Copies of this chain bind each other. A is one copy, B any other.
Amino acid sequence: MRPSGRRPDQPREVTLTRGFTRHAEGSVLVSFGDTQVLCNASVEAGVPRWLRGKNQGWVTAEYGMLPRATHTRGGREAARGKQGGRTLEIQRLIGRSLRAAVDLKKLGEFTITVDCDVLQADGGTRTASITGACVALVEALQHMQRKKLIKSDPFRQLVSSISVGVYKNTPVLDLDYPEDSAADTDMNVVMTEDGKLIEVQGTAEAEAFSRAELNAMLDLAEGGCQTLFDKQREVLGVRR
């Protein structure tokens, strides 16, 4: 039924490659099938102006797509002179999600910026970004501990994210681009390891959706996120 031949509850192949570039304090290439995002975490001393003197740190994200990550070339945002609404919306979502993974008080007056740059897009770039960025963030926190920049570990919990949707009247997990562009409903879910919700963003693209459909999608997302947590723990070498 699905263009890819996957079962409704079957996510794409997920890989998390650590240390993908050498300069960043955390660097992960995440792939959800053909979607590939490079997530680089940078640690910088200091916090934004509005947080100064509050004795806490900050975690934020920036998001971008290489112009030819997509089927047809999109204009370069730097050349157009501004980031589009979709870009800003996604990077705000990634930032909020990552802050749920960290105790900002324990971070001290440091800012961690995670750059999520999409090398190749095939649907689900924001969910892949969150999932990969969380691993890069953990790498950066480990770097800070090794360098004695922080005393206690600010890490609280892993977060992961996956998309769900209603495609041809069936709830499905982890939509690729052909499904995404034809789905009635598209929802992105961000979760914690203990099954709680950080973000739920569901949009009726063509048809309004019912509470029953919402619940079926959330059930799928719960399963999908658990698979992602397994992957994250595996590459980080941690046990539950």
A1-44 Cβ-contact flags toward B at 8 Å (1 or 0): 00000000000000000000111100100000010101010101
A-B contact pairs, 25 of them (CB 8 A): A21-B68, A21-B69, A23-B72, A23-B120, A23-B121, A27-B68, A40-B66, A42-B72, A42-B73, A62-B67, A64-B78, A78-B83, A79-B83, A82-B82, A85-B92, A88-B88, A89-B89, A187-B200, A192-B208, A194-B208, A196-B208, A197-B202, A199-B203, A200-B200, A200-B201
Please name 5 further chain A to chain B contacts, defined as beta carbons within 8 Å, in addition to the given A23-B71, A64-B76, A187-B200, sorted by A numbering: A23-B69, A42-B73, A62-B76, A73-B115, A197-B211
| Chain A, interface SS category | mixed
- The chain B residue with its CB closest to the CB of A24 is B68
Please report the total number of A residues contacting B with Cβ < 8 Å.
65
B92 touches A79 (CB 8 A): no
A230 at the interface (CB under 8 A from B): no
In the docked arrangement, what's the CA distance between A204 and B196, Å?
Answer: 10
Oligomeric state, in copies: 6
Whole-angstrom distance from the CB of A33 to the nearest CB of chain B?
11
Partner of A70, one of B23, B117, B218: B23
- Contact residues in B for A163 (Cβ distance below 8 Å): none
A113 at the interface (CB under 8 A from B): yes
